Structure 1
């Protein structure tokens, strides 16, 4: 069944438009403030939204999904599902080159996925997203077949991001993985010309890009972890765009009141929760976890700290997520019932918990303080432990060394609950250091083999209800993506998932 015919005419028109752009004058330089240096630019090494914010401009996938959330051809011009969804044939775009001049072809696709699914990929966090792929078969220079162990209803979306970005075989063979981490080469509209760890990464327009040359000559991403510094640089004109989640809610008016900058707010898939250590301490008891959730007024947090830029969530996903049940209610704010549950569990007043948070996330730091205050109201004393973000995400959480509660911010970039739920709840996954539930594992595995999307949606909703019943985390809110943008920036299309493609962006003199 051909599934991309409906978008091909649009792509032809878009290609013609891109050619027109490629012969126009380029418009200078853009500087973007990003809150975090990912540390490696290799697509298989990362799960960070801040990686994707930059790397969406460096790499291409076989498919592409832009700010409108529609899936369209990328390095593949079309694809066809065969053998009841266990084989997908991709027709590849011809005439594409990597930034180093190396040709893109079927061998590059095969190499990319064998590397992702092999020993190198096993060292990173992305491989589990693509394990349905058993092998990639080269049919000819511009045709590949993906052989799947079972249908993966989210695979085509996954191919638009992160670990599935196509990498150059010859370049990696010559220079090695360590060099590639800091000197990445892709087929995207911009190429890396200089990377200064913890400071910045500088990109230059790749005029030979298959979609046409970018309007900008160059883009610099500065890594500014301190929100007040990023906002000050925006006000001073030394930064043109500040990307989420940098801007604290308390600084929205500061930007709105500036003569040459504004706030751009869009609903996003990003959700925040405080997850529990379900293995030890008082949070090993399901009654205690439910009590802690019911002790916290999440709507009050949104109103007072987020200035209304969010929505209470019942499960660890936003309203746009496939698998979200709009009829599912969050556990209510009910301090009296919370105290009753704590009494039933034998928790004495004065019991202590630790909440681990990202130290550079000013807004969530305020949220954590309010959560601690609510917990104090039911007799639990919470201390807050900040960590450098990379340490928390790469060491503390995966190694199961957190306190009783720990911050989990999740981009949900596939807009499909599978990509969140499997990684959060399946036994042995990186983001599930404590819990093992055979029934939940079976539910997660079963929905991945279902091709009937209506039935799969019902199964995902059932998973959400199951995790709520077990109180595996305190779901807090989905939050809007807030961009700070200088008025000189033109044609900027804010992405809900922070993956901003800058091909069409230009700047006024």
Structure 2
């Protein structure tokens, strides 16, 4: 267990950081909520979120820039925010969004359809706006038009039932953010810094440095004046770079941090032992909330002997997920039951897979694995390793060395495979090589990753990442990291046809769950990847000053406070009594 020490020294550093230029010390700690920032703000005066860098997650899209909708991970519904609803034309090629009446920018100008059309057309017409959301709009939208001040119509290049949630619903991390036309008009959107930013949110920008950003409540916020929502209780919101796990632990213990980034189980339990007001998503194990990107073992299906589906299934039988959970993850996660993130909104599809008999067990079945391996002509040698034609059955497993989570998990899998008779070896590589060379070009036999990431309220997004449409030869870059396994069998073709049908169906269509199970039969039979465990985010939340944090018992949404939905979290916070 971590021994927390040198608290006063770290506290002094933190207080000094908050006393930077432009900050008037007129807001009490009890009226301030402090969020952990896990990175340096390299350009504190640049709020152009269309270009790379920390331009929005240090408070800008959590307090100042509001989304049109917010996806609720529990229900799968879109909660309206700056918009009140939308309609499609029945073919998912045209979407009409209704904006909320009375919304204003913090300078008093009206927020309306002109701002939406201007921002979308700005992204469509400028290839230099490189952030993912801008690139997605360019790829999907054929045209956008103002119907009236509160109505905007989008015409798409191709049918897409997920258009609204993908672009405007905070599905994962962020959404396409609307900017004020009356400020951006006439500026070069690729170079404009927006150094004096404004938004529609209940907070306005006060100051920023490389290690913190400060936002103060706008008591004239449109939402309170129109009755949309009460003013949030915190008068000030601070995003503070804490410098790592030990220092964030020290700040939590001394009540100088209200919500922290991911920590280990040992660190969390040490914090809680010294500050019983600190909570997490779950009150007990696994403590952590599930991240959308469930972990899995990727398998290159072009490399012998792993080009044989039976050999891939043998590996799947050998893996003991409960051991990964209890040892590698220290109990802070759950074994995956399917390829999907285990959210309430995904339950119908997870249940369909399990009811069809394709759910994953927590424990290993080594006897079943041995039968498959021996059926492929291998015999176990005196050293306990299978061999055939004088060669050992071996595998090299690449792993990104950037995180102990990754390396500990692969070390556990290597140990399990060796015990079962496969000579496995971990191959740690640095982050840039892993994402730049190993994964996209298929330069691996097996590797640890999360390439099924994407589905949080519907199954198509994740399942579409393994269709034959994205197969390229080893040595060529897989498009969007899709199907790096190069799965290209008859079963893969059948799977792809089913997934393509799913992609044309409207969200909420009750027939989709049955198609998920039908497609999943091919995944289960051929195992181009092996789901392992849910991705864990153990986020300490401090109730000394503020209650109302999102938890499994208070699940108004998930707790990832660096996302655009953090508006919901801040609005739910109440001063502790």
Scaled to the shorter chain, the TM-score interval is 0.7 to 0.9
Match in the other structure for 1:385:
428
Is this contact kept in 2: 1:191–1:204, CA < 8 A? yes
> Residues 316, 80 of structure 1: CA spacing in aligned structure 2 closer, same or farther, 3 A cutoff?
closer
Is this contact kept in 2: 1:98–1:185, CA < 8 A? yes
Structure 1 window deviating more from structure 2 (36-45 vs 368-377): it is 36-45
SS at match of 1:460: helix
> Residues 35, 391 of structure 1: CA spacing in aligned structure 2 closer, same or farther, 3 A cutoff?
farther
CA offset at residue 139 of structure 1? 0.9
> Residues 79, 319 of structure 1: CA spacing in aligned structure 2 closer, same or farther, 3 A cutoff?
closer
1:42-121 residue pairs with structure 2 within 5 A?
A: 51=57, 55-66=61-72, 69=75, 70-98=77-105, 103-116=110-123, 119-120=126-127
- 2: CA distance, partners of 1:342 / 1:111: 60
CA offset at residue 492 of structure 1? 2.2
- 1: CA distance, partners of 2:514 / 2:52: 30
- 1: CA distance, partners of 2:459 / 2:148: 35
Is this contact kept in 2: 1:108–1:167, CA < 8 A? yes
- 1: CA distance, partners of 2:271 / 2:426: 32
**Higher-Rg member (1/2):** 2
CA offset at residue 484 of structure 1? 0.8
Is this contact kept in 2: 1:293–1:474, CA < 8 A? yes
Match 2:190 to one of 177, 181, 199: 177
- 1: CA distance, partners of 2:316 / 2:41: 32
CA offset at residue 355 of structure 1? 2.7
Q: Give per-residue Cα distances to partners, 1:451-487, cap 9 Å, x unaligned.
A: 3711122223333333333323221122565331222
Match in the other structure for 1:4:
none
Match 1:160 to one of 169, 177, 181: 169
* TM-score, normalised via structure 1 length: 0.78
> Residues 483, 467 of structure 1: CA spacing in aligned structure 2 closer, same or farther, 3 A cutoff?
same
Structure 1 window deviating more from structure 2 (333-342 vs 119-128): it is 119-128
Match in the other structure for 1:218:
236
- 1: CA distance, partners of 2:518 / 2:50: 31
> Residues 316, 386 of structure 1: CA spacing in aligned structure 2 closer, same or farther, 3 A cutoff?
farther
Q: Give per-residue Cα distances to partners, 1:219-248, cap 9 Å, x unaligned.
A: 2223457434432332233322114xx121
Match in the other structure for 2:317:
294
Match 1:247 to one of 263, 271, 283: 263
Q: Give per-residue Cα distances to partners, 1:238-282, cap 9 Å, x unaligned.
A: 322114xx1212334223323343222255463222323445576
SS at match of 1:474: strand
SS at match of 1:318: coil
> Residues 312, 412 of structure 1: CA spacing in aligned structure 2 closer, same or farther, 3 A cutoff?
same
- 1: CA distance, partners of 2:303 / 2:175: 33
> Residues 318, 180 of structure 1: CA spacing in aligned structure 2 closer, same or farther, 3 A cutoff?
farther
SS at match of 1:430: helix
Structure 1 window deviating more from structure 2 (230-239 vs 393-402): it is 393-402
SS at match of 2:460: helix
Match in the other structure for 2:525:
469
Match in the other structure for 1:496:
558
Match in the other structure for 2:511:
455
Match 2:217 to one of 189, 205, 211: 205
Match in the other structure for 1:21:
none
> Residues 480, 368 of structure 1: CA spacing in aligned structure 2 closer, same or farther, 3 A cutoff?
same
In structure 2, runs of 5+ residues without a counterpart are: 1-27, 225-230, 283-288, 379-386, 471-477, 552-556
CA RMSD, Structure 1 to Structure 2 (Å): 4.1
Structure 1 window deviating more from structure 2 (270-279 vs 394-403): it is 394-403
Is this contact kept in 2: 1:273–1:473, CA < 8 A? yes
Match in the other structure for 1:315:
339
- 2: CA distance, partners of 1:101 / 1:281: 65
Q: Answer yes or no: is 1:143 the counterpart of 2:211.
A: no
CA offset at residue 157 of structure 1? 2.9
Match 1:33 to one of 30, 36, 47: 36
SS at match of 1:492: coil
Match in the other structure for 2:285:
none
